[in-house]
Every structure is written in C-alpha cells, then in structure tokens.
Structure 1
Amino acid sequence: MADEHHRAAVAERAARSGGVVAREAFRGDLVVETKANKNDYVTETDRDAQQQVVATIREEFPDDGFVCEEELTQFVGPESDADDPLALDAVPDSGAAWVVDPIDGTANFVRGLHTWTTSVAATVDGAAVGSATYLPATGDLYAAGPESVTRDGRTVSVSDRADPETFAVAPVGWWDRDDRTEFGDLCTAVVERFGDMRRIGSFQATLAFVADGGLDGAICTTPMYLWDTVAGVHMVREAGGTVTGLDGEPWEFDSEGLVASNGEAHDELLAAAADALD
C-alpha cells in the first residue's frame, strides 16, 4: 500500500509539472502540426509537456516503462532523438508502467479553450494504482489514490442521481468524415434517453467530471487509446462509479468502447450505445 500511495503522489506531481509547461504556452504562438487527419492536432508543447512529465517520474522511478501519446525519446541532451528503451506500446501484465497524455484535448488547447488536461496513470502488474488529471487553464487537479478521489484536495464522488431524465451525459470519441452518422445517432440516443448532453472535447476531462459528479455518464463507441482512458477510468471507479465496455463487462485495456456512469442507470447508457450502433 505504501508503494501505491507513493506512485499516486508522483502521478499527481508529474501531471502538475507537465501541465505547468503546457500552461506557459497556452494562447501563445504555437507550432501546430496534424497527425491522422486535418483536425488531429499536435504541438511542440505536447512534446515539451510530455518530456517534463517523464522527467518528473524518472526522478523517483528511473527504471519504469512508459506508454505515451507522443513519441518517447531518451533525454540525454537538448538535441537527443534516440529511441527510448523504456517506451512501451501497451501496459505490461507484470512490472510498473506509466500512461501519459501531456495534453488531452489538444484541439481545445490550440483554439484557446480552457478544457484540456495533462493526465498521468501509474500501473503495477497491469492495474492502475494511482492517477491524476490536471486542468492547467482552470487550475483544477483531480487525483485518485488507493483510497479516495480528490479535486483540489477535497474528496469527491460520482453523482447520486438515479433518474436518467435528470442525467447529463457526454458522447466521447472521434468519428472520421465517413462515420459521422454513428456520431449523430449517438447524440440522438443521448438526448432521447437522458436529460441533457455535453461534449467536452477532452476524454480525460470528461471522465474526471463523471468522477466528481459534474456529469452522470459518458459513452464512447469508437476505438480509444490508453492515454485517453486509463487515468480517468481509475478515477471514476475509485469515486464509486462504473466503467464497462460496450458489452457491459468491466472495462479492460482492450475493451471495445467505453461506458462510464455513476452506476445508478448504467444499463440505460449501454442501451444508448447500442442504439447508436444499430
């Protein structure tokens, strides 16, 4: 347990340190590139923030592996571009690893919108033991350790709403231009089954908002990356919520889709996902 507390504390410190780097560049002159499509942004700040996160963790755990959104290179100097031997493409079943998203919600970051995060999850033997999601532009820090979830140091939990007609639910994910019908169907299913809909633009922020009761649920029907999910899934569960795949089974790293809720009407969220995929 002591090791879990230590790792949770380092996750929190690392998320904050990387977030500070990103915040310094926010609304400044950014170097913006695209990856998979013209709306899939990456900036030099993503890479700088990630480097700071990794450096902070390595001060305490120099031999642990990393699953990171941006390419991980071994930092031996300002011009280093050597492959890092601790870079991983999956969370290992044994040993320790860290899952890092330096800026989750880069599209918001690029547009000058406040909802983006620096998120870090600590895993041991294939399970998350601590996570942190920092929203640098607003100053909110969500942290999940072995015993509780906090926002800015105060304990939080999922909402206690039970009536789906009072729920605020967020569709999460990205749909290619030729898959937008599914996105529209999911939005329709959400507004027909629940009280209101939100689209946040950051997967990790969305899960943090489920964990603190600001949202009652989130649905993702598209493939997702580990850095978009692991920290927030751990957070929702530690806050008393439920996270499954689209099949209703507990969410795992290789699950199809993701459905997160306060646990009070989880079947209704699964039904909304099924409506979108029919």
Structure 2
Amino acid sequence: MRYFGNSPQVWMKGGTSPVSEADHAADAYLRETLLAARPDYGWLSEETVDDPVRLSARRTFVVDPIDGTRAFISGLPVWGTLVGLTVDGDAVAGMMAQPFTGELFYANGSGSHYEGPGGPRKLTTRKTTKLDQATLFTTTPALFKGEARNRYDAFERQIQLARYGADCYAFAMIASGSVDIVADPGLKPYDIVALIPIIEKAGGVVTTFDGGPAEQGGDVLAAATPELHA
C-alpha cells in the first residue's frame, strides 16, 4: 500500500499498457509467498515471464498483482489483487483483495464470501432477469471494434444503466449483488480466473461471448443470472 497515491514509477509495456513498480513488488511478494507454501503448483502471472513448465502441473496459481493499473496510478480505488487457482484447467478458487478499502472477495469450497466494512457475509448475486432492469459495466466501449462495437451498442441500448471502468471491481460487484452484467473483450487468463469462482459460487454465470469456458480469457461475459446471460 505504500505505493498507492504516492506517484509510483510507471513504465509502458507493449507501447500501450502501463505497469508500475507496485505491480512488480506485489508480483514478487505473491510468487515467493505462494510458491513457498505450494512448491509443486504452477505459476501464471501478468508480471512474470511465462514458464511452460507450469503446463505439467495439475494445480496452477493464476495471478494479476494489480488488476486495474491505470486506476491504481490515477489514485482510484477500483483496482484489486487477483489470485486464482485452477485444477486441471478449471477455476476452482479465487480471491480479489482491495486493500485500500479493506475489502476481500473470495470463493472456496464453502461458497463465495466477503470480508470488509459492514462485516463478513456470504455473497449472492441479485436475481435480475430482464435487460431493461439491469446494470451493465464494461471497461470502455472503445475496446469493441468494427461490427462488435455495433453489437455492443445495440446491447447497451437495452440496458437500464451502463457504466464504464472498474476492472475487477465490477466483476466482484456482480457477486455482491450490486451489478448485473460485465462484458469485457480481450481478457487474459490472469484477468478472469480468480473472478470465475467468486461469481459462479454466488449464483452467477461466466463464459466467453460464445458460451465457452472463460479460464483462457478472451471476450468474457459475466451475468448475475442465467436468464440475463442467455
């Protein structure tokens, strides 16, 4: 937390994506801590050079040290630390921590849970079934290109309330019962794996736009109910 709000050093990777010294520090801490506890697990992180040896592990940590780096370096508390666990490629457990607000969203064998202001509680999605009653988030409509943008715009026109930004926090809000739909194209596995069990164990649905499994990322649609997702 010493970096948040304190103008951390920032670089650009790939020409368009920012990464900060906080991303690197968090990645190093998580990698050292988690692999010390589970040395036989694989490791996939946005800020670690990928090692194909992870493909031989049944269990893999899938990590984004700071999901929402743009928000982080802008001083907006809608970023989070994502740690997911896959077993044979399926997302089975995950957590999203927002240390500035003191919130923790996590899923394990007993369900989906929240700890933070207001006290601990079990997470459950709200039961919205109609688009004209739904709240939608996406990072920005600008990520939808060509015909996909036309389809997105037509979809948004059916929605009661559409908002932009919030990254992983928007997905967590589906599990907490505050948001109904998140549609985000071009995600990587570390952007979504931790969030899949949090949403699904709260009663929601997470797939790619074409209905496939979302563990490998891609164009991802998450919804509070099967009716909204259909």
| TM-score normalised over the length of structure 1 | 0.73
Equivalent in the alignment of 2:129 = 162
Q: Return the alpha-carbon distance in structure 2 between the equivalents of residues 150 and 207 of structure 1.
A: 14
Q: Taking structure 1 as reference, are residues 182 and 228 closer, same or farther at Cα in structure 2, changes over 3 Å only?
A: farther
SS of alignment partner, residue 265 of structure 1: helix
SS of alignment partner, residue 157 of structure 2: helix
Contact residue 174 and residue 181 of structure 2 kept, 8 A: yes
1:100-139 equivalent positions in 2, closer than 5 A = 100-139=63-102
1:68 aligns with 2:45: yes
Equivalent in the alignment of 1:276 = none
Equivalent in the alignment of 2:179 = 215
1:1-278 equivalent positions in 2, closer than 5 A = 23-38=1-16, 40-72=17-49, 87-88=50-51, 92=55, 95-152=58-115, 153-172=120-139, 185=150, 188-202=153-167, 204-220=168-184, 222-249=185-212, 251-254=213-216, 256-263=218-225, 264-267=227-230
Q: Return the alpha-carbon distance in structure 2 between the equivalents of residues 168 and 159 of structure 1.
A: 11
Structure 1's consecutive aligned runs of 4 or more residues displaced over 4 angstroms after TM superposition are 173-176, 179-184
Contact residue 158 and residue 212 of structure 1 kept, 8 A: yes
Q: Return the alpha-carbon distance in structure 2 between the equivalents of residues 238 and 182 of structure 1.
A: 33
Q: Return the alpha-carbon distance in structure 2 between the equivalents of residues 120 and 44 of structure 1.
A: 19
Supply the RMSD in Å over aligned alpha carbons.
2.4
Q: Taking structure 1 as reference, are residues 183 and 201 closer, same or farther at Cα in structure 2, changes over 3 Å only?
A: farther
Q: Return the alpha-carbon distance in structure 2 between the equivalents of residues 90 and 218 of structure 1.
A: 33
What letter corresponds to residue 35 of structure 2 in structure 1?
R
| TM-score normalised over the length of structure 2 | 0.87
Higher helix share: 1
Q: Return the alpha-carbon distance in structure 1 between the equivalents of residues 75 and 19 of structure 2.
A: 14
Which of the two has higher C-alpha Rg?
1
SS of alignment partner, residue 64 of structure 2: strand
1:174-227 CA-to-partner distances (Å, cap 9, x unmatched) read 856xx655685466234311101122241x22221111111101112x322111
SS of alignment partner, residue 121 of structure 1: strand
What letter corresponds to residue 88 of structure 2 in structure 1?
D
Contact residue 91 and residue 126 of structure 1 kept, 8 A: no
Task: Give 1:146 shift.
Answer: 1.4
Q: Return the alpha-carbon distance in structure 2 between the equivalents of residues 32 and 150 of structure 1.
A: 33
Contact residue 141 and residue 149 of structure 2 kept, 8 A: no
Q: Return the alpha-carbon distance in structure 2 between the equivalents of residues 90 and 154 of structure 1.
A: 38
Q: Taking structure 1 as reference, are residues 259 and 29 closer, same or farther at Cα in structure 2, changes over 3 Å only?
A: closer
Identity of matched residues, %: 26
